[in-house]
Every structure is written in structure tokens, then in C-alpha cells.
Amino acid sequence: MKKVNYAAIDIGSNAVRLLIKCVNEENSEEGLMSKIQLIRVPLRLGEDSFTTGEISKEKAVKLLRLMKAYKQLMRIYEVVDYRACATSAMRDAANGKEIVRRIKQKTGICIEIIDGQEEAHIVYDNHIEQLFESGQNYLYVDVGGGSTEINLISDGELKSSHSYNIGTVRMLSGMVKDGVKEQLRADLEAIAKEFAPINIIGSGGNINKLYRLAEKKDKKSAFLPIKSLQDMYESLKVLSKEQRIKQFKLKPDRADVIVPAAEIFLEVARQVQATGISVPTIGLSDGIIDSLYTNHTGQSNSPG
């Protein structure tokens, strides 16, 4: 097999990503997959969806333009197969399906609006079994702009998978329902009671950034102690968005969501009494490409 390029488009509540990876089965020394392009554009679809119930005309136009650009990039990189997934913001938007239809008509790109369970499974199926030790219990926690996906893995086996409408953009918009918070706490308490001790594996751009910013961490094992996360949270939450940008060199679209992300991870850790969070750099886009490679049968979503 020669080198083959696959692509994933992740249409999230905060940002829209294009990830392109090269699969090279002939060179095992470099690893099976290597990232050759990653583009992230912060459209903030959730700002519209969570507050008004639909995506604004302006942001729908921007999304269409972005899909046209991503299509051209996939052509340039000779992508043989792709999958485009939209998550929480598009799920909640009353006009989400209509926007998807228009993008398909104008660009040929087929976007799937996936539910929380599917999102959680794509992330879990990202060949992460090498992270788990036999006999140990893990929570794989992926915090996004609109939702948080939590997978429970015990002794290498997936025991449960849940999605909660608690995300960073949704929190900033003040649109997280109390009942959802209570359900998350109740579920975590039940998990802790049956499966303690529990290790947490964190996913998403915010936990990766928090890990890089933290002073005290284990770089060798990519482990972030909860005390270090708490200290980082305390340092960030007292600052304005502009101060966070200047002091910690954060991008504007990261500077506000990083605080509610830390709150979510701290809450999960508190409920299951975890001492820290392992932070491998894997997420939904990686899971999409892994599933493309695994399931590739010759039926191509080639961008043309």
C-alpha cells in the first residue's frame, strides 16, 4: 500500500477543524499515521445555537465558505476518503439540517449531524486501548463547546458511554440546565461507588492547553495532577479575557472557554476522587480518521 491521505472535518460548537493524516503501511518506523495538516477556525456556532435555537445567516454563510475551502484543501492533498461530523451546536439548531443540505448542494461535502453517543464512541474507538492497563478503571472525558462525552472503561472493556449537554460555549452562554448538572453528578457518584479507584484520561483542546500551561506536571507520562489543574484554574479565573490573552499568550477563542473547561474537569475529578488527568493528544478528528482507515472498503467519500 502506498501513502494514502484521509481527512476529518469536525464541526464543533466552538471551532471547525480539518485534520488530514497520511497512512503509510510500508514505513513502520515512522508509525502508521502521521499528521500532515490541521486547520482550526473558531466560528463559535454554539453562540447562536444555544441562545437563539438556530445558526444565524451570517455564520451559516461563513460555514459554507469554510467547507468550500476545506474541499479545495482536500483536493490539493489528494484525500481519498473523508468524514465530516457536526456535533452539539448543529444538533441543537433548528436549521441545522437545512444548513447541511445547502452545503451538500453547494460543495458536495456530506455532513453528518451525530448524536452524543456516536461522538463518544468515535472518540473511544480512536485505538486508545494502549492507554489502558489491565485491571484498572478509567474515565475517558472529552470536553467540547456544547457537550461533554464520558466513557467508562474497566479492565480494557467499555462499560458505559454518556453525553451531557455541558460544554464550554454552552456554559458561557448560560444555557446549561440544572437537571443536566445533577444527572452528571449522580452518574459520576454511581461510577465512583462501583469502580473506584478511577483514572481520568482527558481529551480536547482546552485540557491540552491547561496541561501545557501548568507548572507542576509529569511530562514523561503526560500526567496533570489535580492540584496543578486547580492552581491553573485559580490563576486564570481572576483575570479578564484580555489579561489571559496577554499573560498566558492564549488565542482569543481559547481565552474564555478555558475556564469553564477547567471547571468541568475539576468537577469530574472531584466526584470520582481522581488524583490527576492523563492528557494524550487525541480527539474526535483522530477518531474519525482511525475509523475511516479501519472501515475503508473501497467506497470513497473522495472530495472529487
| Residues 206-258: tens digit of each pLDDT | 999 999 999 888 777 789 999 999 999 999 999 999 999 999 999 999 999 99
Which regions of the chain are under pLDDT 70?
1, 25-31, 124-132, 297-302, 304
* Amino acid 301: pLDDT: 58
Q: What is the CATH number of the domain that holds 168?
A: 3.30.420.150
Contact 236, 257 (CB under 8 A): no
Q: 273 and 291 share a domain?
A: no
Q: What is the CATH number of the domain that holds 63?
A: 3.30.420.40
Residue 230 lies in a domain: yes
* Amino acid 73: pLDDT: 98
With the CA atoms of 281, 292, 162 and 260 taken in that order, what torsion angle do they form, in degrees rounded to the nearest 10? 40
Contact 253, 13 (CB under 8 A): no
Q: Which one, of 302, 301, 280, lies nearest residue 75 by Cα?
A: 302
Q: 148 and 267 share a domain?
A: yes
Contact 9, 289 (CB under 8 A): no
Which residues, including other chains, have CB under 8 Å from residue 128's CB and lie 6 or more apart? Answer: 140, 201, 280, 282
In angstroms, rounded to a whole number, what is the distance separating the alpha carbons of residues 65 and 71?
10
| Angle CA 261–264–267, to nearest 5 | 150
* Amino acid 158: pLDDT: 85
Residue 91 lies in a domain: yes
Range of the domain at 141: 129-281
| Cis peptide, bond prior to residue 197, ω within 30 of zero | yes
* Amino acid 31: pLDDT: 59
Torsion sign, CA atoms 171, 174, 175, 181: positive
Domain count, the chain: 2
* Amino acid 1: pLDDT: 53
- The secondary structure of residue 130, as a DSSP letter, is G
* Amino acid 17: pLDDT: 96
